[in-house]
């Protein structure tokens, strides 16, 4: 005994704080391999009322790698408490050692280390993967003696595979008869999503284990993922597996650090695992989780003995046809989803709960830990833009979220006061332009700030509205890797814009595309990905019933409802000259003295538009609420303005912002003109402006434009977007 209980591993005699818990989990929490299972176990324990403490023992004591976000997320949610091995003594009813041969190796080697002080009634050692294991029975016996000496308790061994169980038995250790099967979080947590009906399915696989094996498996999986344009392949694999470049370019491949398993699965329509050979435990947990989430699961027939009748079984070559058939038939898809969920029960939470009942008994305290909040909070993150477009779209969605889902905003827009005024919580993050334009550095701090906000508000899901998901945003999603992530990505990108930001869609479990009335004119890069996004009708802040009538609107604005009025709304002027255009419009309108021009000043205007002393200015949000007070508008053609104009049937002279960073406003305006729904003004063509204004003074012309707008108008898609987002966070 003395040879294993070396002097350097003596428990410290310092005064210590005592921490009591039902279960102490001792593991290397920075390791990818067990993280999924540990997270799942913690959640099941918390839901059953067991208290859990976590003792982090990195296999390499000099390695300060961060704890896996899967596990840290449980700490943030209050489901488990980490303890300091140096200053805290743990008294637990059960200690679970994950992969003891790895985490206790430094102690066995006699390195000068301080042992964790965990006193448990019972210790269960979960043997790690036995692949390529060098240790023999003698080594196992030595480890067993060490554990008994240190933790002073009855020690049992358990394994996840039959092979390992046999080895442990051969070493003469006390081994549980039952395998320590994966126990996955039940459908109440994972199966929250309504099936998202994409044009083409996203088909994926996730797994752990040896990187080299996955490279080989990828070769076999190519036939299964050869969907020939009828879908997308997405993989979540150990980081090293990605190094060999074994994967086709059009596959969306995520490393273990890029996403949690739950978020990854939430983005799939089918889960496929069909290598004909190789160790199956590499994907067992992911398969069981996918099934529990109700994702139709297609497996190689050799796995039938493990997973029973729930999944669909097929060789790799047959997979594309099966995917196509199930995706096209909604009833068939739903049936496969239900079968998968039901068949996942042998891997459900009850597996772990029944183990705990035997090993621990009932929880020490009756009040359950905060396992499941009924209220979910969604963080709406938006970039600055040059106006309020992103923020307005998010407000449109946020105010339509169902009961139990609360929006919180984190925006880079200085116009965030409108969010406060709408009654929502808001955080503000100064944009890159205010921080010396150092993009790389700004991203580093963005990630930190977002994580702080996510933790502080206990966020369950994040919704980003913007063209480019910043690197800092992606990093925050990696660090908080199981909150759901939705990208609201409007289309109509300029044709010349070929940014790689579209590749970032793999980090989101849902990409939601707000509709475009002018969609047929879309020449942008997002068109190539339209088959795998969820389309909704154009998103607008207001429903028709929320707009004011002419009398009321005019009275509130202080203008005469009996006289014609023109609204000049050309944007914030942040990236193009609006002063010249406004001046030209006002000069032309002087020929019509009965007309009341009003200039709309944007909430985040660079400077006040006070160059025209006799023309009233308004700062109102949202302007569309007051549209009825006006007979026509001279307007920019941003997404929100355009769709509000068309849906209000407002006669308009449209100007497109020529800045190359903007959306393709010219095409949008051209579409309206081609359909007789608006007049358009080519850039800086002041002569045309005069003609257009003269035309607008004709009542029949205005009627004609308004009627054609009504023909093009579409219903508001904000409620559908809100429902889809809510479904990603609600269990």
Partner 1 sequence: MTSHNDPAAFGAALSQSAAAELVALRERIQIQYALLDVYERADGRERTASRMEIRDAIGLAAEAGPSAGGGGADIAPDQVEAPEDAPAIPEGAPWWPTHETHAMGLRPNAGWAAYALTQSGTGVIGFSLCGLSSGEVEAGIEMVAATQRRTRNFIPLFLTDQPDLAPFRNRGFVVEYLPATAPSYVSDERWAEYIAARRAFLLRKWNLARIVDIGATLDQGPDLAVADLTGAPDRA
Instruction: Report if residue 418 touches partner 1, rule: CB under 8 A.
Output: yes
Which of 194, 434 has the CB closer to partner 1?
A: 434
Residues 247-266 that bind partner 1 (CB under 8 A): none
Which tokens in the block code for residue 312?
A: 């669909």
Q: What residues contact 541, with CB distance under 8 A and at least 6 apart? A: 392, 393, 395, 396, 399, 622, 624, 640, 644, 718
Binding-site string for partner 1 from residue 565 to residue 604, where x marks contact by CB under 8 A and - marks none: ------------------------------------x-xx
Q: Which of 122, 479, 555, 592 binds partner 1 (CB under 8 A)?
A: 479
Which of 173, 662 has the CB closer to partner 1?
A: 662
Instruction: Report if residue 32 touches partner 1, rule: CB under 8 A.
Output: no
Is the separation of the CB atoms in 76 and 4 below 8 Å?
no
CB of 96 to partner 1, least distance (A): 18
Q: Which of 141, 149, 216, 449 binds partner 1 (CB under 8 A)?
A: 449
Angle at 663 between CA 230 and CA 496, to 5 degrees: 70
Q: How far apart are CA 668 and CA 684, in angstroms?
A: 18
Question: Per CB under 8 A, which region of 65-73, 278-286, 292-300, 677-685 contacts partner 1?
Answer: 65-73
Instruction: Report if residue 622 touches partner 1, rule: CB under 8 A.
Output: yes
Residues 490-519 that bind partner 1 (CB under 8 A): 499, 501
Q: Which of 299, 408, 537, 581 binds partner 1 (CB under 8 A)?
A: 408
Q: Which of 425, 531, 673, 685 binds partner 1 (CB under 8 A)?
A: 425
Q: How far apart are CA 13 and CA 440, in angstroms?
A: 47
Binding-site string for partner 1 from residue 642 to residue 671, where x marks contact by CB under 8 A and - marks none: ------------------xx----------
Instruction: Report if residue 34 touches partner 1, rule: CB under 8 A.
Output: no
- The full length of the chain comes to 731
Cα within 13 Å of Cα(249), Cβ side: 0
Which of 143, 418 has the CB closer to partner 1?
A: 418
Q: How far apart are CA 108 and CA 147, in angstroms?
A: 10
Q: How far apart are CA 420 and CA 414, in angstroms?
A: 12
Q: Which of 14, 17, 60, 78 binds partner 1 (CB under 8 A)?
A: 78
Q: How far apart are CA 579 and CA 586, in angstroms?
A: 11
Residues 699-718 that bind partner 1 (CB under 8 A): none
Q: Which of 1, 229, 367, 403 binds partner 1 (CB under 8 A)?
A: 403
Instruction: Report if residue 422 touches partner 1, rule: CB under 8 A.
Output: yes
Count other Cβ atoms within 10 Å, centred on residue 669: 26
Residues 519-548 that bind partner 1 (CB under 8 A): 541-542, 546
Is the separation of the CB atoms in 398 and 409 below 8 Å?
yes
Which of 215, 382 has the CB closer to partner 1?
A: 382
User: For the chain, how long is the longest CA-to-CA vector?
Assistant: 104
Q: Which of 17, 84, 594, 683 binds partner 1 (CB under 8 A)?
A: 84
Binding-site string for partner 1 from residue 364 to residue 393, where x marks contact by CB under 8 A and - marks none: ------x--xxx-x-----xxxx-------
Instruction: Report if residue 557 touches partner 1, rule: CB under 8 A.
Output: yes
Residue with tokens 């160790």: 279
- DSSP one-letter string for 121-134: EEEEEE----TT--
Q: How far apart are CA 400 and CA 396, in angstroms?
A: 7
CB of 601 to partner 1, least distance (A): 7
Number of residues near partner 1 (by CB under 8 A): 111
Is the separation of the CB atoms in 256 and 276 below 8 Å?
no
Is the separation of the CB atoms in 627 and 650 below 8 Å?
yes
CB of 712 to partner 1, least distance (A): 25
Which of 67, 295 has the CB closer to partner 1?
A: 67
Count other Cβ atoms within 10 Å, centred on residue 18: 10
Q: How far apart are CA 575 and CA 354, in angstroms?
A: 63
CB of 466 to partner 1, least distance (A): 8
Q: How far apart are CA 633 and CA 653, in angstroms?
A: 6
Question: Per CB under 8 A, which region of 71-79, 122-130, 297-305, 695-703 contacts partner 1?
Answer: 71-79
Alpha carbon 17 to its chain centroid, in Å, reads 39
């Amino acid at each position: 005994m003395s040879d294993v209980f070396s002097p350097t591993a003596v428990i410290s005699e310092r005064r210590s704080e005592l921490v009591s818990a039902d279960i102490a989990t001792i593991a290397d929490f920075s390791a990818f391999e067990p993280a999924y299972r540990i997270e799942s176990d913690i959640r099941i324990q918390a839901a059953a009322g067991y208290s859990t403490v976590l003792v982090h023992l990195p296999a390499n004591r000099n390695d300060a790698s961060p704890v896996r976000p899967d596990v840290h997320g449980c700490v943030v949610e209050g489901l488990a408490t980490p303890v300091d091995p140096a200053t805290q003594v743990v008294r637990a009813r059960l200690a679970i050692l994950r992969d003891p041969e790895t985490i206790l190796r430094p102690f066995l080697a006699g390195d000068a280390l301080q042992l964790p002080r965990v006193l448990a009634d019972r210790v269960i050692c979960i043997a790690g993967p036995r692949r390529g294991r060098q240790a023999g029975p003698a080594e196992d016996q030595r480890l067993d003696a060490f554990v008994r000496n240190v933790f002073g308790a009855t020690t049992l061994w358990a394994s996840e595979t039959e092979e390992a169980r046999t080895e442990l038995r051969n070493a003469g250790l006390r081994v549980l008869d039952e395998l320590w099967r994966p126990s996955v979080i039940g459908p109440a947590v994972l199966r929250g999503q309504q099936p998202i009906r994409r044009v083409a399915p996203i088909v994926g696989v996730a797994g752990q284990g040896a990187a080299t094996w996955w490279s080989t498996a990828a070769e076999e999986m190519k036939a299964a993922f050869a969907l020939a344009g009828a879908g997308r392949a997405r993989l979540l694999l150990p980081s090293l597996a990605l190094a060999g470049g074994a994967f086709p370019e059009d596959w969306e491949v995520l490393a273990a650090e890029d996403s949690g398993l739950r978020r990854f699965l939430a983005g799939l329509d089918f889960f496929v695992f069909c290598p004909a050979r190789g160790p199956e435990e590499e994907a067992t947990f992911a398969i069981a989780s996918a099934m529990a989430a109700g994702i139709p699961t297609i497996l190689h027939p050799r796995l039938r003995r493990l997973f029973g009748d729930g999944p669909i079984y097929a060789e790799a070559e047959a997979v594309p046809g099966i995917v196509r058939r199930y995706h096209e038939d909604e009833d068939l898809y739903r049936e496969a989803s239900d079968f998968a969920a039901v068949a996942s029960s042998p891997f459900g939470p009850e597996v772990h709960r029944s183990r705990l009942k035997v090993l621990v008994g009932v929880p020490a305290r009756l009040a359950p830990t905060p396992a499941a909040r009924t209220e979910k909070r969604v963080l709406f993150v938006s970039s600055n833009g040059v106006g309020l477009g992103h923020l307005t779209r998010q407000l449109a969605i946020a105010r339509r979220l169902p009961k139990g889902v609360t929006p919180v905003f984190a925006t880079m827009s200085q116009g965030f006061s409108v969010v406060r005024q709408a009654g929502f919580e808001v955080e503000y993050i100064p944009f890159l332009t205010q921080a010396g334009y150092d993009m790389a550095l700004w991203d580093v701090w963005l990630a930190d700030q977002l994580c702080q906000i996510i933790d502080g508000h206990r966020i369950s899901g994040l919704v980003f509205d913007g063209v480019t998901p910043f690197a800092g945003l992606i990093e925050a999603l990696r660090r908080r890797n199981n909150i759901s992530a939705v990208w609201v990505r409007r289309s109509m990108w300029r044709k010349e814009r070929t940014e790689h930001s579209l590749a970032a869609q793999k980090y989101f479990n849902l990409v939601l595309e707000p509709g475009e009335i002018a969609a047929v004119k879309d020449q942008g890069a997002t068109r190539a990905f339209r088959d795998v996004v969820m389309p909704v009708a154009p998103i607008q802040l207001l429903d028709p019933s929320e707009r004011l009538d002419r009398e009321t609107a005019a009275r509130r604005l202080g203008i005469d409802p009996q006289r014609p009025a023109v609204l000049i709304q050309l944007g914030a002027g942040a990236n193009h000259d609006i002063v010249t255009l406004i001046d030209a419009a006002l000069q032309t309108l002087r020929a019509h003295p009965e007309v009341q021009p009003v200039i709309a000043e944007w909430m985040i205007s660079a400077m006040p538009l006070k160059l025209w002393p006799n023309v009233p200015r308004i700062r109102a949000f949202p302007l569309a609420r007051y549209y009825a007070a006006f007979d026509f508008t001279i307007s920019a053609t941003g997404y929100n303005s355009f769709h509000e104009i068309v849906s209000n049937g407002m006669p308009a002279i449209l100007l497109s912002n020529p800045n190359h960073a903007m959306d393709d406003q010219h095409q949008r305006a051209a579409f309206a003109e081609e359909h007789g729904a608006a007049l358009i003004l080519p850039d800086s063509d002041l002569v045309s402006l005069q003609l257009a204004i003269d035309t607008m003074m004709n009542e029949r012309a205005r009627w004609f434009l308004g009627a054609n707008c009504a023909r093009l108008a579409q219903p508001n898609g904000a409620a559908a977007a809100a429902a889809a987002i809510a479904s990603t966070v609600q269990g």
